[in-house]
């Protein structure tokens, strides 16, 4: 796979899925802007990339803050160059508690929407015009396979990730004529280094047993799809949602 330009932005890149996306994109040849609310984590992942011979810089930003996202874009272009790939991965999930819909506070609901939906929108709004001006770009929005299964206990999260799919489709229609492709990736329940109090090992094994592939999903199962969607190999793919969950929900 080849790339026209070599700068990729990954939000929420300091841990979990974002960490793996950063490392995989760097290995595939992109200079990576590792963006995270925790600057120390972002710099640590950037350091891992550089230690392996790649190019990366860590950046701090709250993606739900419009001014912060605008500053971020300027900093990345100044530090790494023009961006051709944006992976909207930043989201609230691992810290959420499971519960019935009527137990979700309005404050929690709004915060999940602010980060998971508005944050994705703001990053697209900032970077898509820059890609359009260059005539080429790739946006990969991270949704969730929970949208297809209607998983209970996470109404706020599932709703936010369904919104990301709608955003992906509508934006793809708008920016396609300018050479910008927009797709979504829907991961299944994925084991990472980030601990989650809401899922036990037994529960994870049970979910794995319900998939076609019968094993626990890990972050490395997703990176090939991200690299594909970021590369020229997917240049005629846009507005799509690719479900990567080992065969739990057939979509």
Burial of 182 (C-beta count, 10 Å sphere; 0-12/13-18/19+): buried
* pLDDT band per the 50, 70, 90 thresholds, residue 35: very high
| Cα angle: 179, vertex 185, 187; to 5 degrees | 170
Q: What are the residues whose beta carbons fall under 8 Å from the beta carbon of 133, sequence distance 6 or more?
A: none
Q: Is 63 exposed, middle or buried (0-12, 13-18, 19+ CB in 10 A)?
A: buried
Confidence of residue 86 (pLDDT cuts 50, 70, 90): very high
* Cβ proximity of 184 and 141 under 8 Å: yes
pLDDT bracket for residue 5 (50, 70, 90): low
Contacts of 210 (CB under 8 A, 6+ apart): 248
Residue 101's contacts (CB-CB under 8 Å, 6 or more residues apart) are: 155
Distance CA 185, CA 90 (A): 13
Q: Is 157 a catalytic residue?
A: yes
What is the Cα–Cα distance from 136 to 229, expressed in whole angstroms?
Answer: 13
Backbone angles phi, psi at 227, to 5 degrees: -65, -40
Summarised one tens digit per residue, pLDDT across range 88-100 is 999 999 889 889 9
Asked if 3 contacts 230 with a C-beta cutoff of 8 angstroms, the reply is: yes
**Per CATH, which fold does 7-197+219-244 belong to?**
Rossmann fold (3.40.50)
pLDDT of the residue at 1: 46
> What tokens does 150 get?
């209607």
**What digits encode the pLDDT tens for the residues 111-154?**
999 999 999 999 999 999 999 999 999 999 999 999 999 999 99
Domain boundaries, the chain: 7-197+219-244
**pLDDT tens, position by position, 198-245:** 677 788 888 888 889 999 999 999 999 999 999 999 999 999 999 999
0.85 cut: is pTM over it? yes
> Collapsing DSSP states into helix, strand and coil, what is residue 17?
helix
Angle at CA of residue 180, ends 176 and 181, nearest 5°: 80
């Amino acid at each position: 796979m080849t790339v026209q330009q070599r700068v990729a932005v990954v939000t929420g890149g300091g841990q979990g899925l974002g960490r793996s996306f950063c490392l995989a994109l760097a290995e595939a040849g992109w200079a990576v802007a590792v963006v995270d609310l925790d600057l120390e984590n972002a710099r640590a992942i950037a350091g891992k990339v550089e230690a392996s011979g790649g190019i990366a810089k860590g950046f701090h930003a709250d993606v739900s803050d419009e001014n912060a996202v605008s500053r971020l874009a300027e900093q990345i272009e100044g530090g790494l160059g023009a961006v051709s790939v944006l992976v909207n991965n930043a989201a609230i999930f691992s810290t959420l508690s499971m519960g019935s819909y009527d137990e979700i506070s309005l404050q929690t609901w709004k915060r999940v929407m602010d980060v998971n939906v508005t944050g994705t929108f703001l990053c697209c709004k900032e970077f898509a015009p820059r890609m359009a001006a260059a005539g080429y770009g790739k946006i990969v929005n991270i949704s969730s396979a929970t949208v297809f299964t209607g998983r209970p206990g996470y109404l706020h999260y599932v709703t936010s990730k369904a919104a990301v799919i709608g955003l992906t489709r509508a934006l793809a229609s708008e920016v396609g004529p300018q050479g910008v492709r927009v797709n979504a990736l829907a991961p299944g329940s994925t084991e990472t280094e980030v601990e989650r109090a809401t899922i036990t090992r037994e529960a994870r094994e049970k979910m794995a047993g319900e998939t076609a592939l019968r094993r626990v999903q890990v972050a490395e199962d997703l990176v090939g799809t991200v690299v594909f969607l970021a590369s020229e190999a997917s240049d005629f793919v846009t507005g799509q949602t690719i479900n990567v969950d080992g065969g739990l929900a057939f979509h």
